[in-house]
Structure 1
Amino acid sequence: MPLSSSVSVVEDDDSLRTAIVGLLDSLGYRVKAYASAETFLNDPSGRQADCIITDIQMPGLSGIELKQHLDRLGVQTPVIMVTARTELSLHARAKASGAVCVLQKPFQEADLVRCIEGVLPA
């Protein structure tokens, strides 16, 4: 992983957001965290990340709606989506929106790291 790799984390659950940030920080990633899609969208520097991790179900814009908004802006940053919901149709919609990975909460740290490493340049 290049030292300059950065990840934006968009997650409304404070404890999960903190855990993901701690994990990625310990692995040497530069991490910016946001409690909502709207907060993320209001910070142009977040969209310059090498990878975006977002929850699907959040108050306001969902992770899928966030991805659609990024597409309209021309942002091509890979997006990883996480969700506690188990409906296969939701997972399919997330993949169809362009998510590079969809992880079911609770997920293994190794699975998240594998998704990130799969989209970042070696």
Structure 2
Amino acid sequence: MHETYVIAVVDDDEAIRASLSSLLRACGYEVLSYAGPAQYLESEGPAQTHCLISDIQMPGMSGLQMHAQLRASGWCRPVIFVSAHQRDLPCAKSHAAGVIACLHKPFAADELLDCVAVAMREAGIS
């Protein structure tokens, strides 16, 4: 890697955020970690993010609502959604809006990293 790529992780579960952040840092990515959509949207994170990994169900605003708000503002980075709820995963309608994958928790590290690689290629980064 010639430069450090920034991946934002938005999840209300602290253990999941820490685990994903650790994995991604070990792979050479810079990671921005947020406990929820409001924290992410109010930060400089969206401007710095190359790829967003977000839970779908969170208190207040959902990951899908956050994504819709980002897209409405012109933000167009690749997104990987994760969810512990199988019923959340049929988000294929969102694929046209930059959603690379919807992964069911728990998922394998390699599965996530494969999705990140696809996200980087789609963003023209890799």
TM score, norm. by length of structure 1: 0.91
| Identity fraction in percent | 33
CA RMSD across the alignment:
1.2
Secondary structure at the aligned position of 2:66 is classed as helix
Instruction: Look up the match of 1:96.
Output: 93
Instruction: Look up the match of 1:64.
Output: 64
Q: Which 4+ residue blocks in structure 1 deviate beyond 4 angstroms?
A: none
Q: How does 1:17-36 map to 2 (within 5 A)?
A: 17-36=17-36
Secondary structure at the aligned position of 2:86 is classed as coil
User: Cα distance 1:19–1:44, how it changes in 2: closer, same or farther (>3 A)?
Assistant: same
Instruction: Look up the match of 1:73.
Output: 73
Q: C-alpha displacement at 1:95, in angstroms? A: 2.7
Please tell me whether the aligned partners of residues 49 and 77 of structure 2 are also in contact (alpha carbons under 8 angstroms).
Answer: yes
Residue 109 (structure 1) aligned with residue 106 (structure 2): no
Code of the residue aligned with 2:82 in structure 1: it is V
Please tell me whether the aligned partners of residues 5 and 29 of structure 1 are also in contact (alpha carbons under 8 angstroms).
Answer: yes
Code of the residue aligned with 2:116 in structure 1: it is I
Secondary structure at the aligned position of 2:21 is classed as helix
- The worse-fitting range, judged by mean Cα deviation, of 43-52 and 15-24 is 43-52
Structure 2 CA distance for aligned equivalents of residues 91 and 2 of structure 1 = 34
Return the structure number with greater relative CO, CA threshold 8 A, min gap 6.
1
Secondary structure at the aligned position of 2:89 is classed as helix
Structure 1 CA distance for aligned equivalents of residues 92 and 71 of structure 2 = 14
TM score, norm. by length of structure 2: 0.89
Secondary structure at the aligned position of 1:100 is classed as strand
Code of the residue aligned with 1:80 in structure 2: it is I
Code of the residue aligned with 1:81 in structure 2: it is F
Secondary structure at the aligned position of 1:9 is classed as strand
Code of the residue aligned with 2:93 in structure 1: it is A
Code of the residue aligned with 2:13 in structure 1: it is D
User: Cα distance 1:38–1:112, how it changes in 2: closer, same or farther (>3 A)?
Assistant: same
